[in-house]
Structure 1
């Protein structure tokens, strides 16, 4: 038990570092602005520039002073880390630089589908039959499932965008890959950071369709084809809450894979040998539905980005509601959905 507590604490610390300081995060404030000396005047100037860049405002002078103190502490940490010169990656300011680790890692206090009654969930639901799922893509050798999964979740909202003229659109994964530049550090911290950055980009800049130029620079003024208002995180280790979210829209999930998962062809994936659940988080997909077989086996409908030759034409039915609260292949560990 103590070992598991140690691993969880270590994971949270790593996650906090990467979310609050990865230099690969898009539009990171360059630290060259303060290389002349980290005095209060320079830090104040950088803080004001950072506030303007990220559109940050505070409700009072006291709140601003509190955020400035946290910002300076994070800045000192980043500069000290980078000055050591013996790391394989660097840190920089980003959208989380005025937050503490505790604030950043605190679970969301609200879940919009929390009050949706369990008995109102249908036994089967498939967004593919509702016109909210585009064709299966193939990420090939690119380690960018997070971009495909995020695009798929946002695509699920396009029929409801600009009502009553909304239509299903194929959105550009390459735009997310090019413009967000997330950290390539392995592990769950990296995957969560990548998804949050991708969602934030879709909120701040919107996404263009695949038919157009496959990417644009982050400050391009052209009108996006789809823009979200934000995103919400599903309560962790809660497959009931996850089902409520999936019933309302496609949902992004991080998960682990295994040799059997990678070679999956059809049927309900059970992870009978447990190797998928014991593996590290190393992939991101989109849940587009759920169901129950005639024999009473509950399952998720997972849209992957490995082409149509994998699984059931690019999809997989993954066992749902098992004894493991993390879900098969850790599907219930971290899930997020965009909002309009």
Structure 2
């Protein structure tokens, strides 16, 4: 099925997944070392983290510092909340190195060079809603986890195509990130990539196959051409939202899910849980 153009907004780097299992805590959990250790044990059980006793004591000190950070930020009246994610006993350096690193020059996205096919299709869109949640409209698949593979670019690209497919056909199909990781030669698989290149691959290749046909492995593999030749969804182009234009971005996200990459190396994103809906 041919879906026409869809939107790309490029900010910097990674998808951060695995939010669904974030673990909350109460003020009284911080009252003593003993209570903090109990919190660490409950967090470990919740995330099925298994470590030997020596490693647990080492990680407990990191965990304590991270709990303090989450507690402090949540009391700063910011427009988002943090919780104890599965990364809560990792330093920020460890987290960024394992989950937010890339060998690809994502800085290219900031150069102001317009990319895409055609003009900005939503330029004349009006009557914007006060808020929009594409999950509630059934245009977003369930949470996926990229694992220790720098494939954020593939997930960001795929979710945009899944969303516009749902809008155009009323059918939500989970598509294959692994096909992009293995077969898109313009990107570098688990070493990173750019959504623009992925969209161009999907366009030139005649579409993208389903996740169930080419399941995600969280590692680089050889391209399976037999699976690649069974596309489920096609596109004929993509567009960039005009840079530094919040009004254009509002028009875009009011009309469809967009592909976004962010720098996920910061400590707040290591523990990000939820934010208020974008208000117009």
For 2:212, the equivalent position in structure 1 comes to 211
Q: In the alignment, does 2:272 pair up with 1:264? A: yes
Q: Which runs of 5+ in 2 are unaligned?
A: 1-102, 104-111, 217-222
* 1:130 shift after superposition: 1.1
Structure 2 contact 139–167 (Cα < 8 Å) conserved: no
Which structure has the higher relative contact order (CA within 8 Å, separation 6+)?
2
Q: In the alignment, does 2:175 pair up with 1:171? A: yes
Counterparts of 1:14-93 in structure 2, within 5 Å, are none
Q: 2:184 is matched with which residue: 180, 183, 196? A: 180
Aligned counterparts of 1:130 and 1:141: Cα–Cα separation in 2: 30
Structure 1 contact 107–235 (Cα < 8 Å) conserved: no
For 2:201, the equivalent position in structure 1 comes to 201
For 2:90, the equivalent position in structure 1 comes to none
Higher strand residue share: 1
* 1:228 shift after superposition: 0.7
* 1:149 shift after superposition: 0.8
For 1:131, the equivalent position in structure 2 comes to 138
For 2:15, the equivalent position in structure 1 comes to none
Structure 2 contact 179–228 (Cα < 8 Å) conserved: no
For 1:282, the equivalent position in structure 2 comes to none
* 1:115 shift after superposition: 1.3
For 1:223, the equivalent position in structure 2 comes to 230
* 1:182 shift after superposition: 3.9
* 1:201 shift after superposition: 1.5
Aligned counterparts of 1:221 and 1:144: Cα–Cα separation in 2: 18
Q: In the alignment, does 2:119 pair up with 1:110? A: yes
* 1:183 shift after superposition: 4.4
For 1:9, the equivalent position in structure 2 comes to none
Aligned counterparts of 2:267 and 2:200: Cα–Cα separation in 1: 33
Aligned counterparts of 1:107 and 1:229: Cα–Cα separation in 2: 14
- 3-state SS of the aligned residue for 1:227? coil
* 1:247 shift after superposition: 1.1
- Count of aligned positions: 160
* 1:221 shift after superposition: 7.3
- Measured on the aligned residues, the alpha-carbon RMSD in Å equals 3.0
- 3-state SS of the aligned residue for 2:214? coil
Cα 1:200–1:259 change in 2 (3 A) is same
* 1:213 shift after superposition: 3.1
Cα 1:106–1:150 change in 2 (3 A) is closer
Q: 1:239 is matched with which residue: 243, 246, 252? A: 246
Counterparts of 1:272-283 in structure 2, within 5 Å, are none
Q: Which runs of 5+ in 1 are unaligned?
A: 1-88, 90-103, 269-289, 293-297, 299-340
Aligned counterparts of 1:219 and 1:133: Cα–Cα separation in 2: 27
Poorly superposed stretches of 4+, deviation over 6 Å: none
- 3-state SS of the aligned residue for 1:147? helix
